[in-house]
Structure 1
């Protein structure tokens, strides 16, 4: 679909006039809540309040988009690989019971032992990432203002950067004329993630920004705010605000830091691309964004659990960034 096509986007009631605006005070913990729903992504239910109702576009059932099949193929590969892994691990457990030799048990460390075995480099990179999470977005800081301007230049290289409070920011998918108000659910790292995406995967960034792929809903997800939600989702999934990761995805991610200093930012880009593919595959509309994000998380957890994954670039979904 052409990038020039105009689509309506939902805006919360507190935008612009801000008569009903409620701002949660940001403390040292930067990522505190998602923005496009009333809960996390653990399966609990929620409703999104919007002034335009819950209208959903009809879709043309006869059209099959390439990205839809790309997502299905990626999911099939991951599930097939997991099936093979389960067979191998199941066979190993049987052999362990029959022949309790050390050579069989050494390959199955639990998550706690795995975390304790992290190298100094891995631990350093994990600590650096946690420090990034503690930085809230501060619209009064010049470097944070400059970062917003940098994002605009990357998104629209041939356009003049607007004032920091301008209706033009809504075109990028911010919910109001002042982007800084949308960071109440995310810290400065969520802006860094968007900038990293635009710098390192510019083609995919532009495709998602302008919604160029697939048959789109009339009520599209707002690009920039969706990006903040993805940052929040990854922090939850990887247990990055805990003292140490306790989930399998979190401990596996800590391993990946050995080979990829920018593992979190790369995983963010994969998650964004995968979320958009899920959006198209499910033929979703704005009201279903939370469900799409939960499906995205489930797929990422599945791929992180695969064997022979030594960096984010080994994930099956990573290839989607180049399609």
Structure 2
């Protein structure tokens, strides 16, 4: 496979070989990892385990047993020390992923959270006319001067879908991920077009596919904000509930901020396709930090919101 061919496939998501084929999932909470990213294999399909021959495997097993015995003896001593220290350090850690007591929500927050959860529960269904129309709307917003293609066309790859049929790319992303993309295109058209056409910065030779990246971001936000739970109990999720009380479309606005933030991180790290998951994780960490700022009362108060204006 030539470098030029690989670039085309990675940019548009038209990837063969099975390693990046579509996941089979039916709900937004059924995915356990982002939809893009590296695997423990190189581009030629050779697993790292195939490099070792039988003799080296035997030698490894011998040293593994030796080190296991040493570690077991050390762990016995270390366990007693930790047991003595634990009372002094417990309660001092309050990471973003630790569950907190549920917040007492106002009636407005309750109603908006319920509505958001209803949106999250809707899977994408390519047989629904409403969902088909939404795909067509996204195309018109993305390419207002171009002819609308059929719902199965190679032209959809130009938007960053993995194949000629976008409906197969949603997996666990759900219909809300398509709504997020449409909201982005309508509310922040200049930022949307810049991301779609990769206009900012010095781009990687192997770029992330725009549309599928959007699905990843929607899924990441659901996890980060703990929206699968009855009431969010993570620090980021509880801060989000405060934003939701100020803005009914806080999730959609946060999606736009996160997408722009991801692209900025992408350029700063000089990342390429195989590093997408790493960039997504660092985007999540940065977003969690900004949500924790004391003076953030709406999405527009986030420092990264200013990126949408550039």
- TM-score bracket, normalised by the shorter chain, equals 0.7 to 0.9
The answer on whether the counterparts of 2:25 and 2:172 sit within 8 Å (CA) in structure 1 is no
- 1:258 and 1:32 map into 2 onto residues whose CA distance is 28
Corresponding residue of 1:8:
8
CA distance in structure 2 between the partners assigned to 1:128 and 1:240 by the alignment = 12
CA–CA distance in structure 2, aligned partners of residues 49 and 12 of structure 1: 15
Residue of 186, 192, 215 corresponding to 1:205: 192
Q: TM-score, normalised by structure 1?
A: 0.72
1:168 to 150, 155, 160: 155
Secondary structure class of the residue paired with 1:12: coil
Structure 2 residue 304 is matched with structure 1 residue 304:
no
> In the alignment, which residue of structure 1 is the partner of 2:305?
318
Partners of 1:163 and 1:146 lie apart in 2 by 11
The 8 Å contact of residues 175 and 182 in structure 1, kept in 2 or not, is answered as: yes
Task: Deviation per CA, 1:19-73: give whole Å up to 9, x if none.
Answer: x9665241xx334323113xxxxxxxx62778688xxxxxxxxxxxxxxxxxxxx
Matching residue of 1:244: 231
Unaligned runs of 5+ in 2: 1-6, 46-98
8 Å Cα contact 2:123-2:172 kept in structure 1: no
Q: How does 1:110-259 map to 2 (within 5 A)?
A: 111-112=100-101, 115-116=103-104, 118-259=105-246
Counterpart CA distance in 1 for 2:250 and 2:15 is: 33
Count of matched residue positions in the alignment of Structure 1 and Structure 2: 247
Shift in Å at residue 169 of structure 1? Answer: 0.2
Please tell me whether the aligned partners of residues 183 and 228 of structure 1 are also in contact (alpha carbons under 8 angstroms): yes
1:299–1:285 CA distance, 2 compared to 1 (3 A): same
Of 278, 283, 287, the residue aligned with 1:291 is 278
What SS does structure 2 have at the residue aligned with 1:270? helix
Q: Aligned to 1:187, what secondary structure does the other structure show?
A: helix
1:104 alignment counterpart: none
**2-structure distance, mates of 1:184, 1:209:** 21
**Using the alignment, how far apart are the partners of 2:140 and 2:233 within structure 1?**
39
Structure 1: gaps (5+ residues): 1-6, 38-45, 54-109
Q: 2:50 is matched with which residue?
A: none
Identify if the C-alpha distance between structure 1 residues 48 and 183 changes in structure 2 by more than 3 Å, giving closer, same or farther: farther
Residues 1:322 and 1:49: Cα distance change in structure 2 (over 3 Å): farther
Between the aligned partners of 1:170 and 1:50, the Cα distance in structure 2 is 24
The residue number in structure 1 matching 2:269 is 282
Matches within 5 A, 1:58-97: none
* Larger RCO (alpha carbons 8 Å, 6+ apart): 1
Aligned Cα root-mean-square deviation (Å): 2.3
1:13 shift after superposition: 2.0
Q: How far apart are the structure 2 equivalents of 1:50 and 1:12?
A: 14
Specify the alignment match of 1:36 in structure 2: 36
SS of residue matched to 2:246? coil
Q: Distance in 2 between matches of 1:14 and 1:302?
A: 38
**From 251, 258, 269, the counterpart of 1:271:** 258
Q: Is the 8 A contact 2:123 2:174 kept in 1?
A: yes
| Bigger Rg over Cα | 2
- CA contact 2:22–2:171 (8 Å) conserved in 1: no
Matches of 1:48 and 1:158, distance apart in 2: 42
| Greater fraction of residues in helix | 2
SS at match of 2:8: coil
CA distance in 2, matches of 1:306, 1:239: 19
Cα pair distance change 1:226/1:275, threshold 3 Å: same
